Amino acid sequence: KKFNNFWMGKFLQQNNFIKPDKPVRLYGLDLARFLAFAGMVFVNFKVVMGAETGAIWAQSFLGFLEGKAAATFVILAGIGLGIGAGRNAENSFNLVILKRAGFLFVIGMLNALIFPADILHYYALYFVFGLLLIRQPVKVIAGVALLLPFIFLLLAAIFDYEAGWNWKTLDYAGFWSFEGFFRNLLFNGFHPLVPWMSFLLLGFILARLKLAQKRTHNMLMLTGAVALGLAYLLSGFLSGLDPELAEISGVVPMPPMPLYMLAGSGAGVLVIGICLAVLSAGVHGRVFSWLKIFITTGRQALSLYIFHIFIGMGILEAFGLLGGLNSQIAVFAAGLFIIASIIYATIWARYFKGGPFELLMRRMTG
């Protein structure tokens, strides 16, 4: 009880859902969005370029980012939804989010025609189910978030996780069939509802913290680092005990076992904590000016995510760079695209207040 009171007083802005205090622009979240976007570009370019070999540094760098950049992206979406829910009436907010879920689903399915690992059509499902929990007490949200990874573990024991998959080509047979599509969406796709929904729910919880306060930033960094380190330590320990335990104690995103969920959550919370700390209210103006281009780019993460599929991967295909390349080339190509994205976003922001798809989504959904 004393710990709960300490938590409530020091860090938690609201346990039961109430309207938060006067809105404050948290530039650190925009910076975190940029980092999540950049991480996803590195990982996704690795996938489409078939970069399974190469220098150890490149392999290690890309391997570490796998699943963590996307997890951070989803956590940030949860924070955004959580903050938005506190500032808007329930009925109007829910309607807008349902419309946006529809918008993201359509865009995501178009993405999937080119890049099967698209995350946006999964977002649509996260948003719909998220509305059922977004105004619940923290204990309820946390309970569901903790339960989902173990539900996945149970499902993996009952059903065939590898159904539909060709792991050499990452093709999914039957994706466009009713059964295959929903199996992929709910259970064994790249970012299935169970257990990936937990990342969104974690974002809901973070949205209720006093995110503008330094002590919260420190708590996030410490908690994230401990969770990330613990996931890897437990994975190594359990894998060494028994080969069968190795199958359920991995920290890779596929299959998304509980320790991967812990590692992804830890990485996301750590990155968000660092970004909030770097761009806290008391930060020197020079630091902000140095990071402004990344903040501006982060605000257009949705558009840039779509562009990295339609434009970035289109360019790779045009130059014959899909499949059979090494990790160094994937890192170099992704780096070039990220630099181009920063330049584009900086120029675009001089004339518009949001990215093209952000503006289109707001116009179409409210």
pLDDT tens-digit map of 282-306: 565 777 788 999 999 999 999 999 9
pLDDT digits (tens, 9 = 90+) for 237-258: 998 888 888 889 999 999 999 9
Which tokens go with 362? 């707001």
Which tokens go with 218? 């420190």
CA distance 196 to 324: 30
CA distance 168 to 190: 15
Map residue 23 onto helix, strand or coil. coil
**Whether the predicted pLDDT of 112 surpasses 70:** yes
Question: How many helices and strands in the chain, by DSSP H and E?
Answer: 17, 2
Which tokens go with 48? 């489409």
Kind plus residue range of the DSSP H or E element containing 166: strand 165-166
Asked if residues 20 and 26 have their Cβ atoms less than 8 Å apart, the reply is no
CA distance 366 to 11: 32
Please enumerate in sequence order all residues whose Cβ is within 8 A of that of 221, keeping only pairs 6 or more positions apart, or say none.
270, 273, 274, 277
Please enumerate in sequence order all residues whose Cβ is within 8 A of that of 198, keeping only pairs 6 or more positions apart, or say none.
144, 145, 146, 148, 149, 261, 265
Which tokens go with 279? 């761009």
**Whether the predicted pLDDT of 356 surpasses 50:** yes
The whole-chain average pLDDT of the chain stands at 91
Please enumerate in sequence order all residues whose Cβ is within 8 A of that of 362, keeping only pairs 6 or more positions apart, or say none.
354
CA angle 284, 275, 343 (to 5 degrees): 85
pLDDT digits (tens, 9 = 90+) for 174-195: 999 999 999 999 999 999 999 9
